[in-house]
C-alpha cells in the first residue's frame, strides 16, 4: 500500500473540505489515489458533511449515562431542534454517552478519539451522521463524576443536565436535589461559597438604594438592615438557601440536614449556553450585494 503522507492528506482536505481523519481514511481505503479518495468521500457523503462545519450548532441534546457512582453528561449540538429529535441523532447521542462512561474520557476532545463498537471513532461516526441528517453536529462538552457517595445524573427534556454528589442521604434525595438544581440553577452550594466581592458589591447597591432617612440611622441598626437584605440575596443564589422545589415549606439546607447529608458537588449544563447564534439578515445581504447599503 502506498505511504499516506501528511501533504497528501492536506491536499485532499483542501480539495474536498472533508476532515483530516476522513481524508486519511479515504486515502488508506483507496491506496493513496487522491482522485479515487475524493470520489470515495463524495459517495460516502463525508465531504458534504464537513462543508457544514462552519454553521452554528446551538440546538441539540444532553445525553446521560450512569453506572452507580460513575456518571457522565455529554452535550451534542445540532443546528435545529428538528434534527435534535431525529432518530439518527438520538441514537448517536446515546452511543456517545455510553462511550464516554466506559472509556473514562476526561473531555470532549478526548471523547472524539474513542472507538465505538462499530470500529469507528466518535469523530468518524459524527461525520457519517452529519451526512445523514444534513446539518452540522458538534460534540461540545462532557462533564463527569466518579464517587463512592450518592450520585444523581438528571436530564430535563434533553436540554438541561445536572450531576449531584451527595454525602449521606439516599438516591432519592440526590435525584430530588438534581431536579432542584435543574429548575432553579443556583450558582453556589452554600453561603460560604459566595465570593466576598459579590457580597461587597451587593452591600454597596443596597446602601445606594436606601433613603437618606434610613442612612442616618445608627450604625448598628443600619448594619442589621443591610445584613438582612444581603442574607436574602445570598439565599437566592445558593442551593442551601433556596426553598426546596419538592417541598417549598423547607429550604434545601433543612431537607439535607434532616437526612444527615451534605452536598459535595453540583454541575449543571444547558444546551447551547454560551454559543452565539447567528441571525441572518437576508434583506441587508441583498442590499449590500446590490450596492444599496
Rounded mean pLDDT of 242-262? 97
Interval 56-107: pLDDT, tens = 678 999 999 999 999 999 999 999 999 999 999 999 999 999 999 999 999 9
| pLDDT for 38 | 84
When pLDDT is averaged across residues 41-50 and rounded to a whole number, the result is 67
CA pair distance 164, 117, nearest whole angstrom? 29
pLDDT reported for residue 19: 79
pLDDT band per the 50, 70, 90 thresholds, residue 277: low
**Average pLDDT over every residue of 24-47:** 84
Query: What is the mean predicted confidence (pLDDT) over 23-35?
Result: 89
Distance from chain centroid for Cα 227: 36
Q: What per-residue confidence (pLDDT) applies to 1? A: 57
User: Taking residues 17-35, what's their average pLDDT?
Assistant: 87
Please give the backbone phi and psi of residue 181, each rounded to the nearest 5 degrees, phi first: -65, -40
pTM: 0.75
Q: What are phi and psi of 190, to 5 degrees?
A: -125, 165
pLDDT at 292: 54
Q: How far is CA 85 from CA 118, 141, 157, 183, in A?
A: 23, 19, 11, 22
* Between residues 102 and 211, the one the model is more confident about: 102
Amino acid at each position: 500500500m502506498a505511504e499516506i503522507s501528511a501533504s497528501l492528506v492536506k491536499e485532499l482536505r483542501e480539495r474536498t473540505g472533508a476532515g483530516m481523519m476522513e481524508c486519511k481514511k479515504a486515502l488508506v481505503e483507496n491506496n493513496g489515489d487522491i482522485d479515487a479518495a475524493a470520489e470515495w468521500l463524495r459517495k460516502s457523503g463525508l465531504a458534504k458533511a464537513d462543508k457544514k462545519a462552519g454553521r452554528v450548532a446551538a440546538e441539540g441534546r444532553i445525553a446521560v449515562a450512569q453506572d452507580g457512582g460513575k456518571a457522565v453528561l455529554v452535550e451534542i449540538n445540532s443546528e435545529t431542534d428538528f434534527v435534535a429529535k431525529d432518530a439518527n441523532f438520538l441514537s448517536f447521542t446515546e452511543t456517545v454517552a455510553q462511550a464516554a462512561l466506559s472509556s473514562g474520557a476526561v473531555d470532549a476532545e478526548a471523547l472524539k478519539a474513542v472507538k465505538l463498537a462499530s470500529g469507528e471513532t466518535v469523530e468518524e461516526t459524527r461525520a457519517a451522521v452529519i451526512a445523514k441528517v444534513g446539518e452540522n453536529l458538534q460534540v461540545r462538552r462532557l462533564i463527569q463524576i466518579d464517587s463512592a457517595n450518592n450520585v444523581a445524573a438528571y436530564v430535563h427534556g434533553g436540554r438541561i443536565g445536572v450531576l449531584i454528589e451527595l454525602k449521606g442521604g439516599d438516591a432519592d434525595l440526590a435525584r430530588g436535589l438534581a431536579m432542584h438544581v435543574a429548575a432553579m440553577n443556583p450558582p453556589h452550594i452554600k453561603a460560604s461559597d459566595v465570593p466576598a466581592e459579590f457580597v461587597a458589591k451587593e452591600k454597596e447597591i443596597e446602601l445606594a438604594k436606601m433613603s437618606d432617612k434610613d442612612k442616618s440611622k445608627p450604625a448598628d441598626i443600619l448594619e442589621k438592615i443591610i445584613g438582612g437584605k444581603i442574607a436574602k440575596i445570598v439565599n437566592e443564589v445558593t442551593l442551601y438557601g433556596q426553598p426546596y422545589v419538592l417541598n417549598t415549606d423547607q429550604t434545601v439546607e433543612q431537607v439535607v440536614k434532616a437526612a444527615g447529608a451534605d452536598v459535595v458537588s453540583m454541575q449543571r449544563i444547558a444546551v447551547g449556553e454560551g454559543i452565539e447564534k447567528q441571525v441572518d439578515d437576508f434583506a441587508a445581504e441583498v442590499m449590500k450585494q446590490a450596492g444599496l447599503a
